[in-house]
């Protein structure tokens, strides 16, 4: 009796007497192979599940997705606590970087979530801004009522990049 090359299944020749034994052996080999595949799939499922758990943890609690937004706004000339600047995003911002037109001796301005004081991008001196973080929005103003320090000088363009994450709030 001949056998297949890979799995050694019995091959019945035309001259062989009929016997159920080779067919039963083939059925048993098939069942054993299927059982091995099932065990391999179960082990793979466990491994993938563990890797997905690690990935979710690495993304942050609740599986937050990192987001980025950038843009610009044009200053209106107003300043002070009664005229704060506000930016709103489609996600919860965590860090915002600011710059202005190169001709204005710009230094990087930066706000960090949860910190109520931010650095103005207009000068290298210590001009700080009062910052309010509220959901998807950030507002700031200059205590000196100075629109240039507040990054709101009339008709001046300001650029920003915001980094944050989806928080499930629309």
The answer to whether residue 11 is domain-embedded is yes
Asked if the structure places residue 73 within a domain, the reply is yes
pLDDT, position 76: 96
Is the Cβ–Cβ distance between 29 and 7 less than 8 Å? yes
pLDDT for the residue 81: 93
DSSP string, 96-161: EEEEE-GGG----EEEETT-SEEE-SS-SS--EEEEEEETTEEEEEETT--TTTTT--TT-EEEEE
Same domain, 107 and 161: yes
Bigger pLDDT: 124 or 19? 19
Asked, for residue 123, whether it belongs to a domain, the answer is yes
Quick one: average pLDDT of 26-40?
A: 85
Q: Residue 59 corresponds to which tokens in the numbers above? A: 């993304």
Computed over every residue of the chain, the mean pLDDT equals 82
Which residue, chain included where needed, has tokens 């980025």? Answer: 68
pLDDT the model gives residue 8 = 86
Residue with the larger pLDDT of the pair 81 and 62: 81
Boundary-marking domain end, from 18, 34, 59: 59
* Confidence at residue 60, expressed as pLDDT on a 0 to 100 scale: 54
Domain shared by 77 and 136, yes or no: yes
Q: Are residues 149 and 70 in the same domain?
A: yes
- Mean pLDDT within 51-73: 73
Q: What is the CA radius of gyration of the chain?
A: 33
Range of the structural domain that residue 11 is part of: 2-59
Final residue belonging to a domain, choices 35, 59, 83: 59
Please determine, for residue 54, whether its predicted confidence score (pLDDT) is greater than 70: no
127: closest CA among 114, 145, 154?
145
- pTM for this structure? 0.60
- Same structural domain, 81 and 41: no
Q: What is the pLDDT of residue 77?
A: 95
State whether 152 and 128 are in the same domain. Answer: yes
**pLDDT tens digits for range 108-162:** 788 888 888 877 776 655 567 899 999 999 999 988 888 888 889 999 889 999 9
- What is the CATH number for 121? 2.60.40
Rounded Cα distance between 108 and 123, Å, is: 9
Would 157 be classed as within a structural domain?
A: yes
Number of structural domains in the chain: 2
Higher pLDDT, 12 or 79: 79
In percent, the amount of the chain with pLDDT more than 70 equals 84
Is 170 inside a domain boundary?
no
């Amino acid at each position: 009796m001949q056998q297949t090359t890979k799995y050694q299944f019995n091959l019945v020749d035309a001259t062989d007497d009929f016997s159920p034994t080779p067919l039963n052996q083939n059925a048993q080999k098939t069942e054993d192979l299927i059982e091995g595949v099932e065990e391999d799939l179960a082990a793979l499922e466990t491994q993938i599940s563990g890797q997905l758990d690690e990935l979710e943890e690495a993304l942050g609690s609740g599986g937050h997705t990192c987001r980025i937004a950038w843009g610009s706004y044009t200053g209106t000339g107003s300043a002070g606590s009664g005229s704060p600047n506000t930016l709103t995003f489609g996600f919860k911002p965590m860090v915002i970087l600011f710059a202005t037109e190169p001709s204005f001796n710009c230094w990087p301005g930066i706000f960090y979530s949860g910190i109520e004081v931010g650095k103005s991008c207009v000068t290298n001196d210590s001009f700080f801004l009062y910052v309010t973080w509220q959901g998807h929005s950030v507002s700031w103003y200059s205590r000196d009522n100075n629109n240039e320090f507040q990054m709101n000088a009339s008709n001046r363009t300001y650029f920003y990049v915001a980094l944050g994450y989806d928080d499930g709030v629309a």
